[in-house]
Structure 1
Amino acid sequence: MIQADAPAPPPHQLVLTGVGRFALFADAATIERGPDAVRMRSLQVVEDDFTVGTTRYWGGWSWWRFDCAAGLADRLDFASVVVGGTEGPAMAEGQPAYPAAPGGDAAELLAVACGTGAPAGAVATVAEAVRIGRAALGE
């Protein structure tokens, strides 16, 4: 019997939302709308030479939950991403939800998660987001 290949995961829709210490991308493909909250994943891209010990990193993923009506953001976890794309285990964040301050990372992510329609300028791969994010960090 021939086994079929597992279906490919859906492509990302990574949208650059801000550049500061890190370049931050919202993954619009992960938006999950519930009755009281919206969940979405974000990618944080670090500078090219970011190394811990002998391991080089591209950045990390976080799941967020947003209360669109109240303007609250809750970062749920963080999972590192090493150069090449391997994702580390997710570590729970453990802090309570907080108001998403205008101009801050959480507010920029909330705008994508709570907006309507697909954001423009999305890229479909983590490697492409890393390239764009690192270029933006270098400006």
Structure 2
Amino acid sequence: MNRLLPILLLSALLAAPATARPQDEHAGEHRLVLTGVGRFAIFADMVSLERDGDGVKMRAFQVTESDFEIAGQAYWGGWSWWRFDCAARTADRLDFAAVKAGGAEGPATPDPAPAYEAVEGGDAAELLTAACDPASVGPYGVSALSEAVWVGREALANP
């Protein structure tokens, strides 16, 4: 994704007329940067970066187009921990934890799939770029999951 596109999209969305924005209980804990919009809106949490040599571990938040419901409970999307090898350009999604409307996080389910090549244009490559070159995403982002949900859903609705 063009490096300027997430910045321009976030700026335009934040300047857009106010619509109903969901609220959450974890406001201010993150710096969520939109890295891609496809089936989901994907955000890198730049506060979560953990470096280890050529490796980086980072959390990513994926937002669904609208709340999905399971057993009467609405969900916004989910968190995943990822591990990236910056030199080898590989990605390994370590787990997934659903996030309920309001921000409560469910238990994490491990993802046993092995690391794979982060192919240009895919979510993993865009997250790898953010993790391995944090300066590439700039200082912008949102600090609450509810804001990421709002920005992500606006981006999904206006591709």
The two structures have a TM-score, normalised by structure 2, of 0.78
Q: What amino acid sits opposite 1:123 in the alignment? A: V
Q: 1:25 aligns with which of 37, 43, 52?
A: 43
> Is the radius of gyration larger for structure 1 or structure 2?
1
* 1:69 to 2:87 alignment: yes
How far apart in 2 are the matches of 1:115 and 1:39? 13
| Equivalent position of 1:90 in the other structure | 108
Q: Which runs of 4+ in 1 moved over 4 A?
A: none
Shift of 1:36: 3.7
Contact 1:31–1:41 (Cα < 8 Å) also in 2? yes
1:46 alignment partner, SS class = strand
Are residues 129 and 10 of structure 1, via their aligned partners in 2, closer, same or farther at CA, if it must alter by over 3 Å? closer
Count the aligned residue pairs: 132
Residue 20 of structure 1 aligns to which amino acid in structure 2?
A: G
Structure-1 residue corresponding to 2:64: 46
Name which structure has the greater RCO, CA cutoff 8 Å, separation 6+: 2
Larger helix share, 1 or 2: 2
* TM-score for both structures, normalised by structure 1: 0.89
Query: What are structure 1's unaligned runs of at least 5 residues?
Result: 1-7
Unaligned segments of structure 2, at least 5 residues: 1-25
What is the RMSD of the two structures over their aligned residues, measured on CA atoms? 1.7
2:148 maps to which of 126, 129, 137: 129
In 2, distance between residues paired with 1:9 and 1:31?
A: 19
